[in-house]
Structure 1
Amino acid sequence: MTGDVLLEVRGVSISFGALRAVQGIDLEVRRGQVTSVIGPNGAGKSTLFNLISGNLSPSAGYVALEGRRLSGRPVHEISVLGLGRSFQITNLFFDLTVMENLLVAAQVLEPRQRLLRDPRFSGRAQARAEQLLHQFGLAAKERELAGHLSHGEQRRLEIAVSLAAEPRLLLLDEPTQGMAHEDTAETAALIRRLAEDITILLIEHDVGLVMDISDHVMVMHMGRKLAEGTPSQIRADERVLDAYLGRG
């Protein structure tokens, strides 16, 4: 059902020594929508993603996906429960081919007793990898090493890898970082297409892109939630204009 709460973040906090990186964040991500998190560098956006995806454990609060608590679970278990993630810094096996990267990620779809098999002979993983190759326009690069791809192609492959396990929620951490304008436009179009089938939680520095593709936006500042609402509400919010967007 579109619009019901898929991901719930309640009172999540974490500190690193004296630094309060994330402070009491509440957020609801609704099924079938694109929800974006924006804010200046150091606002705590990527730390929040790490708390949601299990790379960090909150010192207070919790995260739940479809009513199941994620906080305290290992990353691989969170993946099985339906959360996929791409990273701000490209996170691929550069010495493996495009197809091999996808096969490794899709192995989670296989029954547990078959997980140690060579992924090239795993039927479901193979079928998912081939599907993603065509969906992301990478079929011609199937046998090319991931390290030899262009930056834009690597980012595309990383998103495909994040989808290999068929998650219900996809976290994208600055997917257009370092891209040329043409690659950014292609990635924006790709996110729009993906949003037709999967719920997306996005961190992105390109405010124009965020406002164009998002249903809901949360603004972070100094580890706290500054504001949230529709793109038009965020554009008009005086606190956001003063702290982040500016008045130009």
Structure 2
Amino acid sequence: MESILSVQGLGVRFGSLQAVDDVTFEAQRGKITAIIGPNGAGKSSLFNLISGAIKPSFGQVLFEGHNVTGASPDKMLRSGLSRSFQITNLFFELPVQENLRLAAQFLEQGRGLFRPLSASTRAHERVEQLVEQFGLQSKRHELAGYLSHGEQRRLEIAVSLAARPRMLLLDEPTQGMSHADTRETEALIRGLAAEHGLSILLVEHDVDLVMNLSDHVVVMHQGQKLAEGAPAQVRGNASVQAAYFGEHH
């Protein structure tokens, strides 16, 4: 399997607190990799280190062989990495279509900055693709703030894909969703990898969803990597059961 993302000895200190300590793993191209762990395990901090939201104290993040350690979000996006956020991050006062268009404007690479919107053909084409792919035809003119929570989370994933990234980083994509919305989002994420070849790294609190969805699982505990492997392998790990699943159940 070909690695697309390589995390090498990554760590960060906040004063005297070692939030993440010497974490190493790889994510494979076209596969779904999940980071899980009990509350306070350091999984969110690790995710933020990888996505560039936090600069590491030590270690490296390599994407397609290029060092992107601590890079700003716009540089990450230019490299082919895009992320969603744990708290929904949309323009609630704008229609669904306009949220998508603003994100897709990245494809114009600045050429559409001072041109009329009608001339932004690449962005327009991408919006139409996403509206169809995510089933947003009936919602395209509705304000994002009026969507249900599940619809907003799915729209945010669509926004994250507007720039055609090769890897998508998802921060708790099903947080606050109903059971039905969670299952629909699970199918959506699986389809992005299986049908579109997108590489996905996600942090998720829903253990059952992770085990059903992921190709590879990284388990965090007290800021360190406790275990990693295929879902069945991780589920059967005695240390993981003691540190995570025991608490979960």
TM bin (shorter chain): over 0.9
Equivalent residue, structure 2, for 1:150: 148
User: What is the RMSD of the two structures over their aligned residues, measured on CA atoms?
Assistant: 1.4
Give the letter for the 1:187 counterpart. Answer: T
| 1:58-103 Cα distance to aligned partner (Å, 9 max, x none) | 1101101101111142210111110011111101111111011111
> How many Å separate the matches in 2 of 1:45 and 1:59?
16
Equivalent residue, structure 2, for 1:205: 205
Equivalent residue, structure 2, for 1:227: 227
User: Does the 8 Å CA contact 2:104/2:123 hold for their aligned counterparts?
Assistant: yes
> How many Å separate the matches in 2 of 1:90 and 1:65?
25
| 1:121-141 Cα distance to aligned partner (Å, 9 max, x none) | 411011101110111111111
User: Does the 8 Å CA contact 1:217/1:231 hold for their aligned counterparts?
Assistant: yes
Equivalent residue, structure 1, for 2:61: 63
TM-score by length of 2: 0.95
User: Does the 8 Å CA contact 1:7/1:28 hold for their aligned counterparts?
Assistant: yes
| 1:137-177 Cα distance to aligned partner (Å, 9 max, x none) | 11111111111100000000000001000000011111110
> How many Å separate the matches in 1 of 2:108 and 2:118?
12
Shift of 1:119: 4.5
Identify if the C-alpha distance between structure 1 residues 104 and 34 changes in structure 2 by more than 3 Å, giving closer, same or farther: same
Q: Which runs of 5+ in 2 are unaligned?
A: none
TM-score by length of 1: 0.95
Equivalent residue, structure 2, for 1:93: 91
Identify if the C-alpha distance between structure 1 residues 120 and 77 changes in structure 2 by more than 3 Å, giving closer, same or farther: farther
**What's the secondary structure of 1:246's corresponding residue?**
helix
How many residues are aligned here? 246
Give the letter for the 1:237 counterpart. Answer: N
Q: Is 1:238–2:229 an aligned residue pair?
A: no
Provide the identity percentage. 59
User: Does the 8 Å CA contact 1:37/1:202 hold for their aligned counterparts?
Assistant: yes
> How many Å separate the matches in 2 of 1:106 and 1:231?
34
| 1:27-83 Cα distance to aligned partner (Å, 9 max, x none) | 100001111100011211121121111111111011011011111422101111100
User: Which of 76, 79, 82 is matched with 1:78 structurally?
Assistant: 76
